[in-house]
Amino acid sequence: MNKRNTLINFAVIAGILVVLNLISLNLFHRFDFSKEKKFTLSDSSKKIVGNLEDNLIIKAYFSKNLPNQYADLGRYVRDILSDYQTYSKGHLKYDFINPNDEDVLKEEAIRNKIQPAQIQMLENDKMEVREVFMGMYIEYQGNGESIPLIQVKDGLENDITGIIKRLSRAEMDKVALFTNPDDDEIDYQSIKYILGKNYDMISTDLTTPIEAGVKTLVLGGVKDSLATEQLYNIDQFVMQGGNLLIFQDRVTMDVQKGEADEIHSNIFDLLSSWKIDIAPTLVVDENCGQISVSQRQGPFITQIPVRYPLIPVVNTMNKENLIVTKLENLVLLGASDLNIEMDSTSTVNFTPLFTSSNRSGSLKGPLYGISFRTFQNNSFNNMLKEPFKILSGLYEGSFKSYFAYRQEASRPDFKPESTGSKIIVVTDSDFINDKGAGKQPNNMNFVLNATDYLIGDTSSLEIRSRSFTISKLDVRQWLLKRGVDATDLDSVEKRTKLITKSLNIVLPSLLMIVFGFIYTLIRKRKSEKIRRLYE
Amino acid sequence: MNNIKSILKKELNSYLVSPATYIVLVIFLLITGWYFNSTVFVIGQAEMRSLFSTLPILFLFFIPAITMGMIAKEKNTGTIEILTTLPIQDSQIVLGKFLAALILMGVTLLFTVIHLITIVRFGENIDYGSIFWGYIGLLLVSATYCAIGVFGSSLHSNQIVAFIISFVLVFFFFIIEVILVIFPGPLAEFFQYLSFNYHFSNLQRGVVDTRDIIYFGSMIILFLKGATISLESRKWN
């Protein structure tokens, strides 16, 4: 081949390779072979970052030389940001900054709402407190939001995606929350805040039909009957395919007074028509929270904590259901039994979500007897002989309208039956009330998971339920497992590390030399053999 | 195929009987072992990413050192003329030499499995997927460095010059990710894509991206083709 042809040939090959690389930029596939697929972004994250129209800047403020327990975190953040960048079509840029390098950077981090954390760590054989930064600031079109402190990998993707979603004003799903302006015992600030991060929150008093586009209605429970119009609007919302997340007491309690009363409301008629039956009981559970009670000790009155079985602390989750599988320690305040009314002809499927423990019981009306003194004598143990009680469940399927045989059925847009609606019931309204147990982080996570499920955003649910195991290397633990005496542990650990380190340095080189020696020997013998053949 | 095999065998044999090869590789393994030791118990993580991210830096020096004589030496001693009188295509010579260098690097990497044994012995919840693909990534990086090394060696008859050419080339593709800040937006993206580390970082953590495979494949083909043309150029008037 002459020079010209060769060069043309080279140019053609180079051209093909460039085109191939250009095509691969847009037409690519990623396979995640890591354990727990920790570098696979959820579809919703990919979609949100892929729809960015302008440049989004992420500044990750991470100090160097973080303590061991956080050492892997900085790298994970870098990895996940690189994955976001991959799907951003060039619109996402990220920068890693060590604010400890310069005062200007430290000021910038603080200005961007990343506060330094004080971490105690062993340095030069003594405990020292170090100021470290582990946060990020996300900026888009002049607006910004921060994650002030990142301490765990779990849930980070959810946080980042949530912020990008809000900043880019991506179309958010609508969630309506029923608020009764006359009820001053209710405060929904926490769930409004947590749901508002991911959803477009709308308040409704149910006097008018629920706004078009709303996919889920959160009903914080009622203590009285609703107006027929309000009931009708709930019913038709469900009939038209809307989903319901309801936190409804069957019995109200006043712990201070030690009194409890059954709620008489038409909401139970509506729920009953959908085969949802909340029993007029109060569940007591051995696994429970505490209340403070006043006790006279001499001339003084002191507050002492006592266990109160009407505050079940729930850890028995349906492990097969994504909504609750990773949750624990949900706190309820005066919950009731959820009776299952399903039969083989039912068009609705029921899945229990969580229950009380296997040492439970029920208090029945009309008096209930909820005074803490009731639970301080030995007879209380007899109350806990019943198995678990269902406190929350998921109903899915086709529901029939409560108004099917009433005069409202003649309205022009009336729908007699729903197809594919979902209802989640928790038998306690204090579960989401800030004046009850609503501020409990685990309760909030349940609300978020349940809403994601009802909206159909299972990928967000999966991100949140994902947890990462740490690949630990611990010689001490390894020695303990092999029954090394605890008194010798320090010296044995030192010795084991020294031997391991020495082997790691010397052995590969030694093996290489042995390999070379054997190879040369074999070659020599072969040459000798050939030489002898020709002699 | 047989021609490639013959060149490969001859080249590999000349490597394995040379004490210089063992000196280079023993130094490489000593540094690797020392680096592994200096981080593994401090970080306390049962993974090999710290080591994997350091090996390409060592490759910067060791692979050009291994490949510098591949064609340069043949040119210097005149044996290339004998080789080219045989019924062997230039591309087969280049491919045979490239594969020999790659196999040598593969064998060397095999000795680092001792570090993996330490991880397996003392570690919990080990991410074998990431480790396996980390090794594959290292092989791809080695292959790209080897291709550049063979290309560098084909450009000059002096081994030192060949080493410098190869080193400068691999260093360029290695360092561009670090100096990206000096480039404006679109140009930065272009140079980032050219960077070895940008593509290797995915494989290090067990993520196989088709773009990374295509990138490494393209670089290998491009530099091997370049080496072939450089070899052919002696026939040009």
So where are chain B's domains?
A: 2-235
Task: Give the model's pLDDT for residue B87.
Answer: 82
Residue contact A472–B123, C-beta within 8 A: yes
Facing residue for A516 by CB, picked from B22, B122, B206: B22
Domain boundary among A167, A187, A208: A167
- Looking at the structure, tell me whether residues A271 and A183 fall in a common domain: yes
| Pair of tokens at residue B171 | 């260093």
Do A330 and A248 reside in the same domain of the chain? yes
- Tell whether the model's pLDDT for residue A121 goes beyond 70: no
- With respect to residue A227, please indicate whether it lies within any of the assigned structural domains: yes
For residue A472, being part of any structural domain is answered with: no
Co-location of A351 and A451 in the same domain: yes
Residue A375 within a domain? no
User: Domain boundary at A145, A167, A189, which?
Assistant: A167
For residue A5, what are the contacts with CB-CB under 8 A and spacing of at least 6?
none
Residue of A nearest to B201 (CA): A79
CB contact under 8 A, A29 and B210: yes
Number of H helices, E strands in chain A: 13, 24
Q: Which of A147, A167, A187 is where one domain is finished? A: A167
Substitution target in B16, B42, B45, B151 with the highest count of A β-carbons within 10 Å is B45
Q: Quote the pLDDT of residue A393.
A: 95
Whether residues A118 and A58 share a domain: the answer is yes
CA angle A63, A69, A75 (to 5 degrees): 55
A395 and A518 inside one domain: no
Residue of B nearest to A498 (CA): B37
> Residues of A with CB below 8 A from B147's CB?
none
Q: Would you say residue A126 has pLDDT above 70?
A: no
Domain count for chain A, please give it.
Answer: 3
CA distance A286 to A123: 45
Mapped onto helix, strand or coil, the DSSP state of residue A428 is coil
Domain housing A276? 174-252+263-281+316-357+389-456
Which of A75, A501, A509 lies at the smallest CB-CB distance from B37?
A: A501
Mean pLDDT value across residues A209-222: 91
Whether A150 and A52 map to the same domain: the answer is: yes
Residue B207, pLDDT above cutoff 70: yes
Cα–Cα distance between A118 and A133 in angstroms, integer?
A: 9
Q: Is residue A364 part of a domain?
A: no
Six-digit token pair at A233? 């609007």
Å between A39 CA and nearest CA of chain B = 7
Q: Which tokens belong to A164?
A: 């990008």
One domain, residues A329 and A181:
yes
Contact B83, B93 (CB under 8 A): yes
Instruction: Judge if A60 and A110 occupy the same domain.
Output: yes
Same domain for A55 and A152: yes
Q: What is the dihedral of CA B226, B228, B229, B233, to 10 degrees?
A: 140
| pLDDT reported for residue A125 | 59
Angstrom distance (rounded) from CA B44 to CA B46: 7
A97 belongs to a structural domain = yes
Per DSSP bridges, beta strands A214-219 and A200-204 are unpaired
Task: Give the pairing of strands A214-219 and A174-178.
Answer: parallel
Tens-place pLDDT, residues A413-445: 899 999 889 999 999 999 999 988 888 888 998
Give the domain CATH number at A451.
3.40.50
The pLDDT, as a whole number, for residue A298 is 77
Flag whether A308 is in a domain. no
Residue A525 burial (C-beta neighbours within 10 Å; 0-12, 13-18, 19+): exposed
For residue A329, being part of any structural domain is answered with yes
The verdict on A269 and A393 lying in the same domain is yes
**Alpha carbon of residue A283 to chain centroid:** 27
Is residue B53 within 8 A of residue B136, CB to CB? The reply is: no
Query: Least CB-CB distance to B122: which of A20, A478, A516?
Result: A478
pLDDT of A227 strictly over 80: yes
**Do A447 and A426 share a structural domain?**
yes
Tens of pLDDT, residues A316-359: 999 899 899 888 899 999 999 999 877 777 888 999 999 999 98
Q: What is the mean pLDDT of residues A238-247?
A: 95
Quick: pLDDT tens for A73-119: 887 888 889 889 988 988 998 988 888 878 888 888 899 888 888 87
pLDDT band at B185 (very low <50, low <70, confident <90, very high): low
